[in-house]
């Protein structure tokens, strides 16, 4: 066994961010890779012409109408803090959380604890077109700030478009075809 000297993330991440976007995420109850340490790293990190996140707006992230966490993107770095994974799992299943039952959030394992929420997070980060996905978390409404995810609608459930000229008077329709719109 040998002791390998690895470079610190604070020296590797800026080089990577010059070429590709990165997403860092942490659960709000994670004690192992806690958000306090990740936020301290981001604050000290210099990349793409600035240090820290700068003056960007942290946005709220909701999944299934339930607050899922916070979301912020700056200069190719996205940081997501996932909230209350256990409580959200119950809400998505249509159950209520009982605060008298002391169950701790296992947010270190957010993808395991709540795969639909973390699936939404990863697809959003990747810029996937949600309106073309028919299964999984694509069917659960979500938003980051004002950016609301479109929900897939199968062709057989899409409303029929109104016929051409619908809602126009006969005079308006005639004028349109004659090239003299009113």
Write the CATH number for 100: 3.40.50.12670
Q: What is the pLDDT of residues 54-89, one digit of tens each?
A: 999 999 998 888 888 899 999 999 999 887 655 555
Q: What is the DSSP letter of 50?
A: E
Domain count of the fold of the chain: 1
Is 182 inside a domain boundary?
Answer: no
Is 159 inside a domain boundary?
Answer: no
What's the rounded Cα separation, in Å, for the pair 42 and 53? 7
CB 74 within 8 A of CB 81: no
Is 23 inside a domain boundary?
Answer: yes
Is 180 inside a domain boundary?
Answer: no
Q: What stretches of the chain adopt beta strand conformation (E)?
A: 22-27, 46-47, 50-51, 59-63, 66-74, 77-82, 142-144, 147-148
Is 107 inside a domain boundary?
Answer: yes
pLDDT for 181 beyond 60 = no
pLDDT for 53 beyond 70 = yes
CB 61 within 8 A of CB 144: yes
Is 158 inside a domain boundary?
Answer: no
Is 168 inside a domain boundary?
Answer: no
Range of the domain at 124: 9-153
Is 162 inside a domain boundary?
Answer: no
Q: What is the pLDDT of residues 101-117, one digit of tens each?
A: 323 343 567 777 777 88
What's the rounded Cα separation, in Å, for the pair 99 and 108? 21
């Amino acid at each position: 066994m040998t002791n390998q000297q690895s470079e610190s993330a604070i020296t590797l991440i800026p080089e990577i961010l010059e070429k590709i976007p990165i997403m860092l995420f942490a659960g709000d109850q994670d004690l192992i890779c806690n958000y306090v340490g990740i936020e301290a790293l981001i604050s000290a990190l210099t990349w793409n012409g600035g240090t820290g996140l700068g003056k960007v707006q942290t946005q709220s992230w909701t999944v299934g109408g339930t607050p899922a966490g916070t979301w912020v993107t700056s200069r190719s770095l996205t940081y997501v803090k996932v909230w209350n994974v256990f409580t959200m799992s119950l809400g998505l299943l249509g159950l209520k959380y009982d605060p008298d039952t002391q169950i701790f959030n296992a947010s270190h394992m957010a993808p395991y604890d709540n795969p639909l929420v973390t699936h939404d997070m990863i697809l959003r980060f990747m810029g996937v077109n949600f309106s073309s996905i028919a299964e999984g978390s694509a069917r659960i409404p979500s938003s980051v700030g004002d950016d609301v995810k479109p929900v897939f609608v199968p062709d057989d459930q899409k409303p029929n478009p109104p016929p051409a000229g619908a809602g126009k008077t006969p005079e308006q329709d005639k004028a349109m075809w004659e090239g003299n719109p009113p």
